[in-house]
Structure 1
Amino acid sequence: MVSTVNVPKTMRALVLLEKGSAAVKEHPVPEVGDDDILVKTVAVAQNPTDWKFVDSGRGNPGSVIGCDWSGHVVRVGKNVSTPKVGDHVAGFVMGSTFPDSGAYAEYVKTPAELAWVVPQGTLTHEETATFGCAFWTAAQALYHPKRLGLVEPPAKVTDEEWLYIHGGASAVGQFAIQLAALSGYRVVTTASPKNHELVKSLGASEVFDYRDSEVVSKIKAVTRDSIRVAFDTISLQESQSISAAVIAPTGGKVMHILAVIPEATARKDVVREYTIIYSALGRAYTYATGQHASAVPEDRAQIVEFLKKVPGLVKDGQIKPLPIKLWEGGLDSIPAGLQYMKEGKVSAEKIVYRI
């Protein structure tokens, strides 16, 4: 038995048809398991991974696209005590992979423990939808004991310690700056000059232009060459090179969000790894290309514990949503938004749609 309101059998969803092709069509509303909730989506947000799954051939035909969502609970499984039907909740799912999971739809299913309840009177659905892939990635990279393992709020680091974040104006970067500052770290970051004030307003102590030929020496000077950990939110060869170069002579660790490029640095004293947030969902998956990933229970456990803190951080105003570019037209307009992002036109803001 589930607690529920009236829910149709089918819904409109943006479905992956084949490599490079997607369309809005009628799709089955996901069945709710004993530990799941079903959410009527109100707003969804866009990430680079959304268009990349469509174009790369990794996505599975017949699956629903999209990761970031905000909405109201309309059905709960028999083991679920919270959230309740009617609650405003938000979360993250793996799009373009499963027929019964994906954000770009009128309904989305998720395990209850992977959703967080938005405190009344705090954020709109559009704002809350930005707390998905980028937010979770920042929390995993910074706080998971097998990633950077930093001090997690409400605790704070006791001594002055610098953290380098490459790409401070990216979606992941903006959340990482806020979280690191809450943890008491001094953040030095890079961004285009037009975004310097934005990243400072989020808690960065110092910011430099990543295009500056002297960026590494300037970062080392302002931090007294003391950086032991870095988070590269861009993870192309240049950013991987800079992120390794700013680490102190005693060595340290860099966490990337894309695969490590070995030739980006010759340093052997810097541990370089990458994090994939899909592991936090605790569900095995297989790409259309045949690559398989097993479930990682410890990654899910880490994000579940972190999500318990999020309502309090939001209620106290300690975490701000990303700047929003509201894209009109709902589900039918998402392909145009994906193309816009693919063309590199998104900067320091999150595209959000109302469903």
Structure 2
Amino acid sequence: MRAAYIEERGPADVIRWGELPDPVPGPGEVLVDVLAVAVNPVDTLVRSGRFPTPLPFPFVVGRDLVGTVASAGSGFAAGETVWCNSLGHEGRQGATAERAVVPADRLYRLPDGVRPEEAVAVLHPAATACLALFRHGGLRPGETVLVGGAAGNVGSALVEFAVRAGARVLGTAAPRDHDHVRSLGATEVVDYRAEHLAERLAALAPDGIDVHVDASGHNDPRTAVALLARRGRIVLLAGFADEPVLPVGPLYVKEGSVRGFALSHATAGELAEAAQRINRLLAEGGLRPRAVEYAPMSAAAEAHRRMERGELHGRRIVLLP
């Protein structure tokens, strides 16, 4: 088969496109013919070595795929359309290949009527949002959620999941994106560059924020803690190099909590739990990507370069075999 792979960690230039032996499924694994693969920021961290994880070389890059079952096994029938969003780390080969072997407990059926090329673009952001809100944020109906970076890939999914769960959602985004965020169900959207931003958000949530999740990559614990309701929760899921100061006094007085969350550490059970919510929302017509670029798998190195240069601005790159 043809695949995008590396033989050592390093810059995007180490990615090669060429022939590798066909993968062979073992017990509890399923062979999948790949239809589409998404390119995620975490893929660049794994490839470069910034996110340390065991890699078998030659290592196929990529985390998420949608494909069809090549041969029946482990409860899946040949020809079923399936997806996975947890390949390419912890010793598992990646997704950017014509065929991939997927552990059956990490493989899920795609709902009927959902286009594989669109679905693959949202799987990673959706799982991040879902686990951040429910597993780590403990979101309950009627609570108030603040989503920073609400127009981005993860931010949009956060808004959709929170609204569907019966929460009141506030978001921050650039003015050009306010209509989009409101279309997802947000009650109020504020320009993240607005003067006196904290005061404006406090006025919109006089009883405080129950779950604070900032997907923008710029964490401001001082403001987040000031906005928290009693026993409010801050979930950290972005800001790889951030080292801000945490105001401990106000946090403990409010009985608040701060929890870090990286999707790469989610268990198979947690991912399966999120997959059920993701599939329900996909089947209902939600979680559709705003902007997708399509390219061949042979362009994986250039896709990584563009992502690392910050050129995508919320667009998703989907690679096709």
Q: What TM-score does the superposition give when structure 1 sets the normalisation length?
A: 0.80
Structure number with higher helix proportion: 2
Task: Report what 1:341 is aligned to.
Answer: 307
Query: Residues 163 and 309 (structure 1 numbering): CA distance in 2 closer, same or farther, change over 3 Å?
Result: closer
1:247 match? 228
Contact kept? 1:327, 1:337, Cα under 8 Å = no
Q: Is residue 312 of structure 1 aligned with residue 287 of structure 2?
A: no
Alignment counterpart, residue 63 of structure 1, candidates 45, 59, 66: 59
1:12 aligns with 2:2: yes
Please report how far the alpha carbon of residue 229 of structure 1 lies from its aligned counterpart in structure 2 after TM superposition.
1.6
**Aligned with 1:128: secondary structure?**
helix
How far is 1:241 from its partner?
Answer: 4.6
1:160-199 superposed matches below 5 A:
160-199=142-181
Report the counterpart of residue 257 of structure 2 in structure 1: 271
Q: What secondary structure does 2:79 align onto?
A: coil
Q: 1:253 to 1:311 in 2, by over 3 A?
A: closer
TM-fit CA distance, 1:74: 0.6
User: Could you tell me which amino acid in structure 1 is paired with residue 116 of structure 2?
Assistant: H
Alpha carbons of 1:37 and 1:175: their partners in 2 closer, same or farther (altered >3 Å)?
A: same
Pick from 202, 206, 221 the counterpart of residue 188 of structure 2: 206
The correspondence of residues 28-107 of structure 1 with structure 2, limited to 5 A, is 28-57=21-50, 58=52, 60=55, 61-77=57-73, 80-81=74-75, 83-95=76-88, 98=91, 100-107=92-99
Counterpart residue type for residue 261 of structure 2: T
Distance 2:24 2:18 in 1: 18
Tell me, in whole angstroms, the C-alpha distance in 1 between the residues paired with 2:233 and 2:118. 32
Aligned partner of 2:130 in structure 1 is 139
What are the superposed Cα offsets for residues 32-61 of structure 1, whole Å, 9 maximum, x if unpaired? 133221211111111111122223454645
Secondary structure at 2:194 match in 1: coil
Secondary structure of 1:234 counterpart: coil
Distance in 1 (alpha carbons) for counterparts of 2:259 and 2:278: 26
1:321 corresponds in structure 2 to 288
What is the CA-CA distance between 1:96 and the residue it aligns to? 5.5
CA distance in 2, matches of 1:76, 1:257: 37
The alpha-carbon deviation at position 114 of structure 1 amounts to: 2.1
Instruction: Report the alpha carbon displacement of residue 162 of structure 1 after superposing the two structures with TM.
Output: 0.8
Give the partner amino acid of 2:275: L
Q: Which residue matches 2:16?
A: 23
Shift of 1:343: 1.2
- Distance in 1 (alpha carbons) for counterparts of 2:302 and 2:94: 18
Whole-Å separation in 2 of the counterparts to 1:339 and 1:305: 33
Q: What SS is found at the alignment partner of 2:198?
A: helix
SS across alignment from 2:228: coil
Structure 1 stretches of 5 or more lacking a match? 1-10, 152-156, 281-298
Equivalents in 2 of 1:206, 1:267: separation in Å? 29
How far has the Cα of 1:337 moved from its partner?
A: 1.5
Q: What letter corresponds to residue 303 of structure 2 in structure 1? A: G
Does structure 1 conserve the Cα–Cα contact (< 8 Å) formed by 2:152 and 2:314? yes
Segments of 4+ moved more than 6 angstroms: none
Cα distance in structure 1, aligned partners of 2:114 and 2:273: 21
Are residue 127 (structure 1) and residue 127 (structure 2) matched?
A: no
Per the TM alignment, residue 213 of structure 1 is displaced from its structure 2 partner at its CA by 3.1
- Provide the alpha-carbon RMSD of the alignment: 2.2
Going from structure 1 to structure 2, the CA distance change for 1:244 and 1:346 (only over 3 Å counts) comes to farther
Cα distance in 1 between the residues matched to 2:265 and 2:172 = 28
- Equivalenced residues, count: 309
1:90 touches 1:131 (CA, 8 Å); kept in 2?
no
